[in-house]
Each structure stands twice: as structure tokens, then as C-alpha cells.
Amino acid sequence: MSDLFNPTEEHQVLREMVRSFVEKEVAPQAEEFDKTEQFNRPLFNKLGELGLLGVTAQPEFGGSGMDAVAAVIVHEELSAADPGFCLAYLAHSMLFVNNLAVNGTDEQRARFLPGTCSGELVGGMCMSEPDAGTDVLGMGTVAVEDGDEYVLTGRKMWITNGAVSDTEMGDIFLVYAKTGSRDTREISLFLVEKGREGFSLGQKLHGKLGMRASTTAELVLEEVRVPRENLVGTPGKAVKSMMRNLAIERVTLAAMSLGIARRSVEIMNDYARERTSFGRPINVYGQIQRHIAESYAEFMAGRSYVYHVAGQLELDAFGHRVDSDGVKLYCSTMAKNVADRAIQVLGGYGYVSEYNVERLWRDAKLLEIGGGTIEAHQKNMTRDLAQLDKIR
């Protein structure tokens, strides 16, 4: 019988490699970069050396050519030590690299994937705006055709990797914009590079509750001219590619929840074995046993769901949205609850940074909001389930 979590030898080797890298390189720096709210660019570049920045991209363009399960493995392992750094990785590897690998032309892939797969370039995706998040069709950014160019005007908000420092923006972005006017429902997708006139860093956001090791920024487009060859896909038809990429985004965000939950279970289990109260280890008391046992069971239920969905997900096709939404709906809240229980088991030690669970708890909350709110998932799933006669 195959291993659901490591279905092939290649997956097992990948997990062992990433876990070793995380223990040696990622875990030791996590607390520092959370406190300083900085993006660890040298560490990010090491992911490129390992072939992880283009984990699902085609080998001929610098990628590793692996599947959705591989992407889930990487996100679970990275997030177990540093969810903030992992979020920066997700925005680059899934929202930019995978998106372009699936939806771009060979010419576009050849121009932009080698640099983003190596880590030379940091990429991101611009969809949300100050007044438009879940309501994608409410976006105000417009791309007007002008000869062989498009002129983009608007503001994008909450952009992960929008800044790589307090003053420097990321290198390359996939930007969604309405084509023609704000009244249209037609959305197109464009490649926009740093350095184009009118494309600027509005502000890097500080003081976030969690995910502080990934940068979040506002990006401003003031009549930014991009050549027609930077248009990704068919004009006005980018909602299709957007929905296709949202599936892998949500599955990998759910995988991040797995990393948070797994680490929280490990921390509370170790602590409860070693900490004594009234002369006995605290894991002999029913209140503590409930926290540990329920957390492990919920984690394993979520983990099984995520890997089941990832195993069926084809990156270049539309997945079953009920389940790509479902894994994130379940796992995001599960991870927050498990981290909360870990804090409760550790008591005062859980409330300070020494044992990491307070950081994991802070980071977990974003997963109920980013990449689709839990309310949006509930709406999508209910609408999709209404079309089914039976659940197989």
C-alpha cells in the first residue's frame, strides 16, 4: 500500500531534503526575521539552489517539473518552522512561477522563468486592491490598449513580495486588470517588471499580527506601459487562469496550515511529557490529554484531506473547487485552534516567544483570510455542492 503523504520515492526524498534544510537553515533564523519584519533574501536564494522556487515549472525553463503533492510537501515542511518565510515562497513559486508556467507562452516562460526559478528575481501576483479583495470583479485597475502596448492604471494592495525591503519593490509581477474600462467584467493578465515608468512601491505595511517574515505592500500603477507581448493569455479571459491557479494556491495554503499544526502538536506533546505538576507529568491529566489528542486527530484528518486532494489535482486543468476550497476552509481554522491549544498547554511559556507557539498562532490567523476568506470558501462550496446529486 502506498504512502498517502509520500506516494513515490521522489516525494520521500524531497521531504527528507526539505526537512533537513529547514532544520539547519530555516528554523534558526525564524524568530529574528519575525521580530524585524524583514524578508530573508539570502535564504530565499538557497531555495533556488535546491530547485524549489520552480518546483512545478517545466525543466526546460529552469523548473523541477514536479506535481501538486511535491508543492504541498515543500509548503508543509517550510511552514513547520517559519510560516512567514513560507508565505513569501508561496507567493513566488505558486502565484507567479506556477501561474506563468501554466498560462504563459513559451516565449514568456523563456524570458521570466529561469530568473525566478533560480532566485535571481523575486516574483509575486497582484489581484487584491484597497477596495476589492474577495470581490474580484470589483477591481478598479484598468488596462487600456494603445497600439502595441497596454497602459495600466490602478492600485494593488496586500501584495506579498510587493517589497523585498522597506524601500525596494519585488522584481516581477503578474497583474490582473480590467481591459478597457472599469465597467467591464473582462479581466486580463499582464507581466509587469520593476523599473517600468509609473510602477512604484506605494508602501510597505508594518505592524502585521503575523506572517511578519514575508513582506506585504501596496503597489501603484500610474499609466504604466507594457508591451503586448507581456499580455498573458487571451485578452479579457484571465478569470479562467485566475480560478485555475487559485486551486493550487488554496491547497498549498492548506499545506502551510499542516506545518503550523504539526509543529504545535510536537511542541505541546514534548512539553507535556517533561513538565511536572503536583509531582506528575502534566500529560497524565485529562485536561491536557484532551488538548493533545484532539489536536493530533484534527491535524491528521486535515493532512489526509490535503494530500488526497493534491494527489488528484492537475496543475494545468480545473480542479474540483469544492475540495480546493474545502481543504483551506478546514485546515486554516484547524491550525489556528491547534496552535491555540498548544499555548494553553504551555501556559505562561506558550505566551512568550521561547517555545514558538505564540508566533505560530499569530501566523495561523492569516490563513483564514488570505487566498480567500473562510466565508468565501463557505459560499463557493455551498454553491458548488448544490449542483451535485450525490457525494461520491
At 151-162, the pLDDT tens digits run 999 999 999 999
Which class is 238-385 in CATH? mainly alpha
Q: β-pairing, 187-193 with 199-204?
A: unpaired
pLDDT tens across 348-376, in order? 999 999 999 999 999 999 999 999 999 99
CA distances from 209 to 34, 89, 241, 336, 374 (A): 10, 19, 31, 13, 18
Q: Which residues contact 276 (CB under 8 A, 6 or more apart)?
A: 282
Domain boundaries of the chain, sorted by first residue: 9-122, 124-232, 238-385
Catalytic residue among 76, 77, 249, 358: 249
Q: How far apart are CA 374 and CA 372, in angstroms?
A: 7
Is residue 176 classed as helix, strand or coil in its secondary structure?
Answer: strand
Helix (H) or strand (E) holding 267: helix 238-274
114 band by pLDDT with thresholds 50, 70 and 90: very high
Residue 168 annotated as catalytic: no
Selected from 2.130.10.10, 2.40.110.10, 1.10.10.10, 3.30.70.2860, the CATH number assigned to the domain covering 124-232 reads 2.40.110.10
pLDDT greater than 70 at residue 45: yes
pLDDT score of 76: 98
**Please, how many CA atoms are within 13 Å of residue 271, restricted to the half-sphere of its CB?**
24
CATH topology (fold) of 9-122: Butyryl-Coa Dehydrogenase, subunit A; domain 1 (1.10.540)
- Could you tell me the pTM of the whole model? 0.97
Q: Amino acid identity, residue 75? A: H
